[in-house]
């Protein structure tokens, strides 16, 4: 079992179909396979143990993913936003490596024995070789992809995804060659994100054209969608928010007649954003996809019918599902309490998943699965009576106040309901009496005002007194990473 099979099949079945469109450059599926063959020969000749990519999105990303698989070494995309010391430390961990990058990023790299730096343009124009076609490896346990976690709590961990994890995800959830001739998908998450990798694999297996943009900017995204008649898209919630803001600002129709399906994930979607997006794009099917790096991407989806049913319903139990991440896909899912007891509907606890796509494994730390194969996602959440999953933040973010577990999410939702509040983050602060106390950082809307007592009163009225932030500070903006994930560890520092 090897993910190179995915490209092999697409090239066999729809070799003439466009696989990648980026600027003026085009690759058909047959050309993509040919490029991957050439790259695999170069990688093999280099004796590298890893294929690393330090670059924005370009055709080099899908080529490198499949070339690494043909060559039988793991693919490691690196975060080009890291600092110079961070990058060099990661590269040391993957040497000897075949490292594809651009002059701009190459400047950040210290020379290192065993690391062959290959310019992207050279990588894209490798000559044909006489080397025999690579024999696709059949070891399902071989590592296909290694992704470094963002390392918010320490040194980045190297999450590994084996060929069997990724193949079972793709084969189990995507119908081969299911894309129509004219379909095209635009994915604007960076290549080092699991969603960027799974998008390449899913699109190739579906034989769907991939439209590439170097980065995300709302206006450019809309223009690319129109120009390439994009039918499918994947965005993180922050990007949808930017598109909604842009369309509202210019008060024009979205004018995306070809767009049929828009999937989002990678962070919490604000209710108001998805509601606005659905009303701006009434003809589009929205899907919320919840997944983790360690689970080979998506494990639960809230599909288009669920979105519409929730938006139209007057029943609060159905209406609130717009804030759910849907039902488990090809995995089993359980909610457990801190002692490991499986909880029932509406009981909040820790989310555990199990299934062949779940790797749950880090290179140094080993497998995190329990004896029965369950992986602790470290996400908190609960299921409703019909099995819809609602997430409630990371377990690391829970505030333990006098033995009581308090989830920041519910307090943030109440604070955000205040008309003057633009953004809110609730974190733990040290407290002599309770161990931890509740603290909140607030961003007010331009020109709006609200005082501390008023916000405390709001929380007290809607929740209970233990949830009331004992300290509230006002800020100009809250810190987010480039994919819109809030950096709570930075906010916590304001309360120490």
Residues 426/469, Cβ–Cβ less than 8 Å: yes
Residue range at the interface with other proteins (CB under 8 A); choices 82-90, 286-294, 368-376, 429-437: 286-294
Q: Residue 49 Cβ, how far from other proteins at the closest point, in Å?
A: 21
- Residue 79 contacts other proteins per CB under 8 A: no
Residue range at the interface with other proteins (CB under 8 A); choices 39-47, 130-138, 331-339, 402-410: 130-138
Out of 95, 108, 171, 309, the only residue in the binding site for other proteins (CB under 8 A) is 171
Q: How far from each other are the two terminal CA atoms of the chain, in whole angstroms?
A: 51
Out of 79, 146, 298, 324, the only residue in the binding site for other proteins (CB under 8 A) is 298
Q: How many C-alpha atoms does 289 have within 13 Å on its Cβ side? A: 26
Residues 356/373, Cβ–Cβ less than 8 Å: no
Residues 435/402, Cβ–Cβ less than 8 Å: yes
- Residue 295 contacts other proteins per CB under 8 A: no
Q: Residue 294 Cβ, how far from other proteins at the closest point, in Å?
A: 16
Out of 188, 297, 368, 395, the only residue in the binding site for other proteins (CB under 8 A) is 297
Out of 32, 87, 159, 174, the only residue in the binding site for other proteins (CB under 8 A) is 174
Size of interface with other proteins, in residues (CB under 8 A): 48
Q: Residue 443 Cβ, how far from other proteins at the closest point, in Å?
A: 31
Q: Residue 282 Cβ, how far from other proteins at the closest point, in Å?
A: 17
- Residue 139 contacts other proteins per CB under 8 A: yes
Residue range at the interface with other proteins (CB under 8 A); choices 24-32, 213-221, 296-304, 333-341: 296-304
Per-residue contact string for residues 299-338; x = within reach of other proteins by CB under 8 A: --x-xx------------------------xx--------
- Residue 373 contacts other proteins per CB under 8 A: no
Out of 85, 151, 172, 435, the only residue in the binding site for other proteins (CB under 8 A) is 172
Alpha-carbon span 278 to 319, nearest angstrom: 14
SS3 of the chain:
CCCHHHHHHHHHHHCCCEEEEECCEEEEHHHHHHHHHHHHHHHHHHCCCEEEEECCCCCHHHHHHHHHHHHCCCEEECCCCCCHHHHHHHHHHHCCEEEEECHHHHCCCCCCCCEEEEEHHHHHCCCCCCCCCCCCCCCCCCEEEEEECCCCCCCCCEEEEEHHHHHHHHHHHCCCCCCCCCCEEEECCCCCCHHHHHHHHHHHHHCCEEEECCCCCHHHHHHHHHHCCCCEEEECHHHHHHHHHHHHHHCCCCCCCCCCEEEECCCCCCHHHHHHHHHHCCCCEEEEEEEEHHHCEEEEEECHHHHHHHHHCCCHHHHHHHHCCEEECCCEEEEECCCCCECCCCCCEEEEEECCCCCCEECCCEECCCCCCCEEEEEEEEECCCCCEEEEEEHHHCEEECCEEECHHHHHHHHHCCCCEEEEEEEEEEECCCEEEEEEEEEECCCCCCCHHHHHHHHHHHCCHHHCCCEEEECCCCCECCCCCECHHHHHHHHC
Q: Residue 351 Cβ, how far from other proteins at the closest point, in Å?
A: 17
- Residue 275 contacts other proteins per CB under 8 A: no
- Residue 2 contacts other proteins per CB under 8 A: yes
- Residue 12 contacts other proteins per CB under 8 A: yes
What residues from 247 to 266 belong to the interface with other proteins (CB under 8 A)? 261, 263, 265
- Residue 349 contacts other proteins per CB under 8 A: no
- Residue 392 contacts other proteins per CB under 8 A: no
Output 96 or 267, the one with its CB closest to other proteins: 267
Residues paired with 145 in a beta bridge: 75, 161
Tokens linked to 335: 């909610």
Q: Residue 202 Cβ, how far from other proteins at the closest point, in Å?
A: 5
Residue range at the interface with other proteins (CB under 8 A); choices 115-123, 163-171, 334-342, 460-468: 163-171
Out of 15, 96, 140, 270, the only residue in the binding site for other proteins (CB under 8 A) is 140
Residues paired with 327 in a beta bridge: 301
Per-residue contact string for residues 183-222; x = within reach of other proteins by CB under 8 A: --x-x-------x--xx--x--xx----------------
Residue range at the interface with other proteins (CB under 8 A); choices 120-128, 133-141, 387-395, 400-408: 133-141
- Residue 9 contacts other proteins per CB under 8 A: yes
- Residue 8 contacts other proteins per CB under 8 A: yes
Out of 55, 164, 379, 397, the only residue in the binding site for other proteins (CB under 8 A) is 164
SS3 of 357-384:
CCCCEECCCEECCCCCCCEEEEEEEEEC
Crossing angle of helices 194-206 and 60-71, rounded to 10°: 80
What residues from 221 to 240 belong to the interface with other proteins (CB under 8 A)? 232, 234
Q: Residue 402 Cβ, how far from other proteins at the closest point, in Å?
A: 40
Residue range at the interface with other proteins (CB under 8 A); choices 28-36, 298-306, 372-380, 418-426: 298-306
Output 12 or 404, the one with its CB closest to other proteins: 12
Alpha-carbon span 446 to 146, nearest angstrom: 43
Q: Which residues bind other proteins (CB under 8 A)?
A: 1-2, 5, 8-9, 12-13, 135-136, 138-140, 163-164, 167-168, 171-178, 185, 187, 195, 198-199, 202, 205-206, 232, 234, 261, 263, 265, 285, 287, 289, 291, 297-298, 301, 303-304, 329-330
């Amino acid at each position: 079992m090897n993910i190179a099979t995915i490209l092999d099949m697409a090239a066999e079945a729809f070799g003439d179909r466009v696989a990648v469109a980026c600027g003026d450059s085009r690759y058909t599926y047959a050309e993509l396979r040919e490029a991957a063959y050439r790259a695999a020969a170069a990688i093999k000749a280099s004796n590298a143990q890893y294929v690393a990519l330090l670059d924005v999105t370009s055709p080099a990303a899908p080529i490198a993913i499949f070339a690494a698989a043909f060559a039988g070494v793991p693919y490691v995309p690196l975060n080009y936003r890291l600092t110079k010391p961070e990058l060099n430390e990661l590269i040391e961990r993957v040497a000897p490596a075949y490292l594809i990058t651009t002059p701009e990023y190459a400047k950040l790299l210290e020379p290192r024995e065993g690391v062959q730096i290959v310019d992207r343009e050279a990588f894209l124009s490798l000559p044909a070789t006489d080397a025999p076609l690579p024999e696709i490896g059949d070891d399902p346990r071989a590592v296909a992809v290694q992704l470094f976690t963002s390392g918010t709590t320490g040194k980045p961990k190297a999450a590994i995804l084996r060929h069997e994890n990724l193949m079972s995800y793709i084969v189990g959830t995507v119908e081969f060659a299911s894309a129509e001739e004219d379909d095209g998908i635009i994915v604007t998450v960076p290549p080092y994100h699991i969603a960027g990798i799974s998008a390449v694999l899913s699109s190739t297996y579906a034989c769907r054209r991939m439209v590439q943009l170097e980065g995300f900017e709302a206006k450019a995204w809309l223009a690319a969608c129109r120009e390439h008649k994009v039918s499918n898209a994947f965005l993180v919630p922050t990007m949808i928010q930017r598109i909604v803001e842009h369309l509202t600002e210019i008060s024009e129709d979205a004018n995306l007649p070809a767009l049929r399906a828009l999937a989002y994930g990678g962070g919490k979607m604000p209710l108001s954003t998805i509601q606005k997006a659905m009303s701006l794009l009434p003809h589009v099917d929205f899907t919320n996809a919840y997944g983790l790096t360690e689970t080979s991407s998506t494990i639960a989806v809230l599909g288009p019918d669920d979105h519409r049913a929730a938006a139209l319903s007057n029943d609060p139990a159905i209406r609130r599902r717009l804030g759910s991440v849907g039902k488990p896909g090809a995995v089993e899912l359980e909610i457990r309490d801190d002692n490991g007891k499986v909880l029932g509907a509406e009981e909040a606890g820790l989310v555990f998943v199990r299934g062949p796509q779940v790797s749950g494994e880090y290179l140094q730390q080993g497998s995190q699965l329990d004896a029965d194969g369950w992986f602790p996602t470290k996400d908190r959440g609960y299921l409703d009576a019909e099995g819809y999953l609602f997430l409630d933040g990371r377990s690391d973010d829970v505030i333990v106040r006098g033995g009581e577990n308090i989830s920041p999410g519910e307090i943030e939702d109440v604070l955000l309901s205040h008309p003057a509040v633009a953004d809110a983050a609730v974190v733990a602060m040290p407290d002599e009496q309770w161990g931890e106390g509740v603290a909140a950082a607030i961003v007010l809307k331009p020109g709006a005002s609200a005082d501390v007592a008023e916000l405390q009163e709001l929380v007290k009225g809607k929740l209970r007194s233990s949830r009331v932030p004992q300290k509230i500070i006002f800020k100009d903006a809250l810190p987010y990473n480039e994919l819109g994930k809030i950096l709570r560890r930075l906010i916590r520092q304001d309360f120490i």
